Structure 1
Amino acid sequence: MKRPGPLLTLLAGLVLGLCLLTLNATTGTRTASSPYEEKSPSPLPARSAASPSPTPTPSPSRVPAADADYAGRTDDDAAAIAVSVRDGKAIAYFCDGRTKESWLRGDVQDDGTLRLTGEHGATLDGTLQEGRSVDGTVSVGGGRHAFSADRAKKPSGLWRATATVRSAKIDGGWIVLKDGTQVGIVTRDGEPAPAPRIDPETGAVTVDGQRLTARPATP
C-alpha cells in the first residue's frame, strides 16, 4: 500500500481551515473593551435652589394721636369728663358741677393709651378709639367711674379761666357737652362752688361781678 501523498496532506489542511472558518462565523467575533476606554461621568445630583430668606415685614409705623377734644359723662352719670390731646400730651377735667373736680395730665402712648394723674392720687386710664372717642376709667376722691367721651366740636369741649377777683384767686373749669349742657366749678382760694354759665361762642363769663374770659384748655 502506498502512503498518502502530499496532496492528501494539503486536502486535510484545507478541510481543517474550512472548519475553523465556519466555527468563527457561527459564534461571531467579540471585540474586547479597551482597558483605557473613558467612562461617562456620573451625573451630579441636582442642587435644589436655596430658598431666599424671607424679608421681615416691617411693623407699621404708629400714627401719632391726632390733636382733638373729647367730652362726655361717666357711665353712672355722676359727673362730666373732658379730655384734650395736643402733640402727644393730654389734659383731662373731671367735674360733678358741685364740689368735686380734678385736673389730670400725662402723655399719650404710641398705642393710643393714656394714663393721666392729678392731685390727691387722682388717675385716669383711657384709650383713644381711632380719634372717635376716649373710653376708660377715672378715680377721684376715692370714687372710681367708667366713662366714654366722644370727639367734641366747638363750642363743645373743655374751657378754663383763671384770674384774681377781689383779692381771691379764681380758677374755673367748664365742660360743654354736645347738647349744650355745661358742667363746671369755680374755686375761690381753693373753695369749690358751681360755676356760672359761660358764653360758649366767646368764653365770656361773669364771676363775682367781674367779667372774665374762659379759653379752651389744652395741655
Structure 2
Amino acid sequence: MKRPGPLLTLLAGLVLGLSLLTLDATTGTRTASSPYEEGSPGPAAVRSAAPAAPTRSVSPVSPSPSRVRAADADYAGRTDDGTASVAVSVDDGRAIAYYCDGRAEESWLKGDVEDDGTLRLTGGDGARLDGTLTDGARVDGTVTVDGGRHAFTADRARKPSGLWRATATVRSARIDGGWIVLKDGTQVGIVTRDGEPSPAPRIDPATGAVTVDGERLTARPATP
C-alpha cells in the first residue's frame, strides 16, 4: 500500500491551520481591559466621594440662673459689744444705715446692695459699713465710725421696729433726729441741733410723733 504523498500531508496541515484560525476569531481572548467595559463605572462614577465632615453634637447651653435682688426690708440690732445699735433699710437695690450709741456718736451711711447681698455703705468722716444680707433674715457685718470698728447683727424688723428719722427747723436751729427701734421696744436715738448731738426723746412708735424743744415733730421710717 502506498503512503500518502507529500501533497496530502500539506493539505492536511493547511486544513488544520484554517480550523485553528476560525476558532480563535470566534472566541477571541481580550488581552487588556477597556476603560469602558460593560458594567464598569464611568469617569464621574469612579471618583472617590469626599468623606463627610464629622457632625459635632452641641450640648444645649443652660441659661445662667438669674440673680434675685434683695427684698425691700428693714433690719435692726446691736453691736456685738453692746455699746451701740445699727439699723439698715433696703429699698430697690439701695440701702441706708444708721449707727448710734444713744449719747453722742452717730453716723448715717448709704450705698448699693449687690445681687449677692453684699453691702458696702459709706458715710461722713470716713465712716464705713461692710455687711452681708443673709436670706432676707438679717444683716451681719462691721461698722467703722471715728476709728472704732464694731461687729454687729441686725435682724429683720417688723413695724414699728426699724429706722426712723425726723428733720425740721425749731427756733432757728436745724434739727436732725435719728431713732433705732429694736424688736423689744427699746429706742436708741440722737437729735442734733445745728450739728450738736444729744440723746433723743422717745417717739410714739404708732405715729412717729415726738416733741423736740417744745415743738411737735413727726418721725418717719427712713428709706434710701
The TM tier, using the shorter chain, reads 0.7 to 0.9
Distance (Å, rounded) in 2 between the aligned partners of 1:100 and 1:176: 17
1:105 is aligned to 2:116: no
Distance (Å, rounded) in 2 between the aligned partners of 1:142 and 1:56: 49
Contiguous gaps of at least 5 residues in structure 1: 1-46
Structure 2 residue aligned with 1:83: 88
Letter in 1 for 2:72: D
Quote how far apart the aligned CAs of 1:51 are. 5.8
Letter in 2 for 1:97: G
Aligned partner of 2:122 among 109, 117, 122: 117
Distance (Å, rounded) in 2 between the aligned partners of 1:141 and 1:170: 22
Quote how far apart the aligned CAs of 1:168 are. 0.8
Distance (Å, rounded) in 2 between the aligned partners of 1:202 and 1:92: 21
User: What count of residue pairs does the alignment treat as equivalent?
Assistant: 214
Contiguous gaps of at least 5 residues in structure 2: 1-51
Distance (Å, rounded) in 2 between the aligned partners of 1:131 and 1:176: 19
Structure 2 residue aligned with 1:196: 201
TM-score of the two chains, using structure 1 as the length reference: 0.78
Aligned partner of 1:129 among 125, 134, 143: 134
TM-score of the two chains, using structure 2 as the length reference: 0.76
Distance (Å, rounded) in 2 between the aligned partners of 1:60 and 1:133: 23
Letter in 1 for 2:136: G
Structure 2 residue aligned with 1:209: 214
Distance (Å, rounded) in 2 between the aligned partners of 1:58 and 1:126: 29
Question: Which deviates further from its counterpart, 68-77 or 56-65?
Answer: 56-65
Structure 2 residue aligned with 1:27: none
Quote how far apart the aligned CAs of 1:53 are. 1.9
Aligned partner of 1:159 among 161, 164, 187: 164
Give secondary structure in 1 for the equivalent of 2:103.
coil
Distance (Å, rounded) in 2 between the aligned partners of 1:117 and 1:171: 19
Distance (Å, rounded) in 2 between the aligned partners of 1:68 and 1:188: 29
Structure 1 residue aligned with 2:186: 181
Distance (Å, rounded) in 1 between the aligned partners of 2:173 and 2:69: 41
Give secondary structure in 2 for the equivalent of 1:126.
strand
Structure 2 residue aligned with 1:58: 63
Deviations 1:71-116 (A, max 9, x none): 0011111100000001110000000000000000001112111100
Give secondary structure in 2 for the equivalent of 1:60.
coil
RMSD over equivalenced CA pairs, Å: 3.3
Distance (Å, rounded) in 1 between the aligned partners of 2:57 and 2:156: 48
Letter in 2 for 1:69: D
1:140 is aligned to 2:157: no
Distance (Å, rounded) in 1 between the aligned partners of 2:206 and 2:67: 35
Percent identity reads: 78
Give secondary structure in 1 for the equivalent of 2:99.
strand
Distance (Å, rounded) in 2 between the aligned partners of 1:78 and 1:52: 63
